[in-house]
Each structure stands twice: as C-alpha cells, then as structure tokens.
C-alpha cells in the first residue's frame, strides 16, 4: 500500500523511497526581473547600434516645414524655422528624414550626438510618401544605420522609435507593432501605403527618426502621430524608404505617371455593373481634363467613369493614383470607362506627373 511507504527527503532535496532516488522538479513563477532585464537589454542593444546614426535637423526659411511649431512661428511674425530628426544611411552623410521637415527649407544644418554641427543640403524629397534625402556638405564619416526588410515584421514585435530633438542626445520610446499595411494620407493628398502602426510614442521633434527592431535594423521612418488618440503612431515602411531612397539618389524625385484628369469617387449603378459583369460598386468620374493631356488625346470626356486600368479594377481615386506608377510613363495603357451606360475601352499613354507640394 502507498500509505505504508515512508518517504524521506535528504539534505540535497532528493526523495528516497527505500533505495531508489528521484529528482523532484521544483517549478515556480517566472522571474519578472529576468524578463524585464531581457526587454531592457533588447532596447539598449538597438539604441547602441542605431542611436549614433540619428541626427537632429534644423531648418530655416519662410517655407520650412519642420515639426517644432513653437520655433517656426512667432506671434505676428514670419516663419523662422523648424526642426526634426533624421537617420544616416550612408557614412558619407546621406540622411533620410521626413519631407515635411525639410520641404522648401532655405537652409539646413544637422547636429550629431558627438556635438558636431554640420551644414547640409536637400538632394530630393517626395511629399507623396513624406520622405526626403539630405546630404551633409562636408567631408565626414558618420555612423550609419542599416535598412532592414520591413516585410519580415510581425504584429506584436518589439520596435524602438529613436529621435534627436535637441541635437546632443537621442530620445527613445519602445513599444510593439500594432498593425501592418495601414494607409495614411500624405500632405500632398496621396495615400501612403504599407504604413506601420506602433504604440512606440513619438516625442516632439522625433519626426524623421528611425523605427528600429531589437536587431538594430531600421524598418521604418517615423512620420506621424494622431493627436488626441493616445498610443497611435505611424512610420513609413523601411521597404518604401529603400525604394524612395534609390529614386532620390538617381533623380532627386520619385517619378510617377499621370493621365491628365481631375477625378472624383463615383458610384456605379448596380444594374449597369451587373450588365457589364463589373465586380465593383464605384469608379472614378472624370471631373476635369488637362488641355492637350494624355486623357484628351485618348478621347476621354468629362463625365466618363473610369473602372479599370489594364484589366485591374479602379474603385476610387486612391486606386487610380496607386496604379499610375513610373513604369507606365510613355507606355500604352488600356482604360475601361463607362460613358453613360456603355462600356468603352480606350488606349492612353501616361506622362510623367509633376511633383506636387
């Protein structure tokens, strides 16, 4: 009988049952201090790797768009300047930041963590993604950060937002990826796609700074916070930044195509959609035409509803803008339009769209 067995524990914590010895597993709650230490080490490691590459950007000029509104506006007076953050992406002084920080700036300077203040110039900016590239106007070698693959991010993953609002040391906030594939309206009116949502809050002056993984890779450029909505911040994805960076280095801008129309969202009558086999409820109504533009040459008319480009459905203006990419410039493209109740197909040759402020 089990009751007749006498268990004796020795000084080593082992139970004896008459000769055979078995180790007794002792389980307890996880050590919270160890978990917090691991979290802290991850954040500290990321900051040690990327922090030296984060710079403070000071801009001057009447049209400066930096983030520090208190610095930019004087009561009853003209704009004086603004500031933000940026991240060095090449040791010779290439720095990624936000377009709204440096757009139309009259003069730009950067401050590094080691106290250097250096002049810089704008190489190019892209208001449609709120990204810009500046270069230090001096023979320098700066610590540079590595751009990571933002496609590898997972919801719930630890991320660190780093900025340099004061010019001598970085500020850090940590959080997790709250959402992926978000869209955010740029100041140009265009939707920025593939935006990262995070609860790593942005301090004043941190716009243009990097969003970093625990491995020290830049996976986003911090761009916006929704005021009044605590804990909702956004960063332009690192892969978008990589794409824009290449274009800005080569061309000083990002080339996109246009067809020369002013468009507005328009519903499609259900019976008309069923008759023509359209799997959509809306399209883009042509509200205006650029004189002599591609749409005029193709035969579009005011009132036409654009429903597809090269066989892909266009449900609204954002779809249209998203589809008019650089590779369509100068290439014949098929448009499907509804003219009253008739479905027509036209060929248009998009042109390069002028960059909007």
Using CA atoms, how far apart are residues 292 and 288, in angstroms rounded to an integer? 12
100: annotated active-site residue: yes
Tokens describing residue 268: 């499609």
- 16: helix, coil or strand? strand
The one catalytic residue in 130, 194, 304, 319 is: 130
207: annotated active-site residue: yes
- Long-range (24+ apart) CB contacts under 8 A made by 338-346 are 338/268, 338/272, 338/276, 338/283, 338/304, 338/305, 338/307, 339/301, 339/303, 339/304, 341/269, 341/272, 341/275, 343/276, 343/307, 346/298, 346/299, 346/300
- Identify whether the C-beta of residue 337 lies closer than 8 Å to the C-beta of residue 300: yes
The one catalytic residue in 56, 100, 103, 247 is: 100
130: annotated active-site residue: yes
- Identify whether the C-beta of residue 99 lies closer than 8 Å to the C-beta of residue 125: yes
DSSP string across 76-97: TS----EEEEEEEEETTTEEEE
The one catalytic residue in 83, 178, 207, 214 is: 207
- Identify whether the C-beta of residue 263 lies closer than 8 Å to the C-beta of residue 282: no
Which positions are catalytic?
Answer: 100, 130, 207
């Amino acid at each position: 009988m089990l009751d007749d067995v006498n268990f004796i524990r020795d000084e080593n914590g082992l139970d004896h049952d008459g000769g055979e010895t078995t180790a007794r597993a002792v389980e307890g709650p996880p050590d919270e201090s160890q978990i917090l230490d691991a979290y802290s080490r991850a954040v500290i490691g990321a900051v040690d790797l990327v922090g030296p590459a984060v710079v403070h950007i000071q801009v001057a000029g009447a049209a400066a768009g930096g983030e520090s509104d208190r610095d930019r506006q004087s009561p009853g007076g003209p704009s004086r300047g603004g500031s933000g953050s940026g991240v060095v992406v090449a040791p010779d002084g290439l720095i990624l930041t936000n377009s709204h920080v440096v757009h139309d700036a009259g003069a730009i300077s950067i401050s590094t963590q080691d106290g250097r203040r250096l002049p810089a110039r704008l190489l190019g900016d892209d208001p449609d993604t709120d990204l810009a590239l500046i270069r230090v106007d001096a023979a320098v070698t700066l610590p540079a950060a590595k751009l990571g693959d933002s496609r590898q991010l997972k919801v719930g993953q630890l991320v660190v937002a780093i900025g340099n609002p004061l010019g001598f040391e970085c500020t850090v906030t940590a959080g997790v990826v709250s959402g992926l594939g978000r869209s955010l309206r740029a100041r140009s009116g265009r939707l920025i796609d593939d935006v990262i949502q995070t609860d790593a809050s942005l301090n004043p002056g941190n716009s243009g700074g990097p969003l970093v993984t625990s491995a020290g890779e830049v996976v986003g450029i911090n761009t916006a916070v929704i005021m009044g909505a605590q804990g909702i911040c956004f960063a332009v994805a690192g892969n978008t930044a990589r794409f824009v960076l290449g274009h800005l280095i080569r061309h000083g801008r990002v080339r996109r195509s246009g067809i020369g129309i002013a468009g507005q969202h328009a519903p499609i009558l259900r019976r008309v959609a069923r008759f023509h086999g359209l799997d959509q409820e809306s399209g883009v109504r042509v509200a205006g035409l650029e004189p002599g533009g591609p749409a005029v040459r193709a035969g579009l008319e005011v009132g036409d509803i654009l429903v597809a480009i090269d066989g892909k459905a266009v449900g609204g203006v954002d779809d249209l803008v998203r589809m008019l990419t650089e590779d369509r410039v100068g290439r014949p493209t098929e448009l499907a339009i509804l003219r009253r109740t008739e479905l027509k197909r036209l060929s248009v040759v998009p042109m390069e769209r002028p960059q909007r402020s």
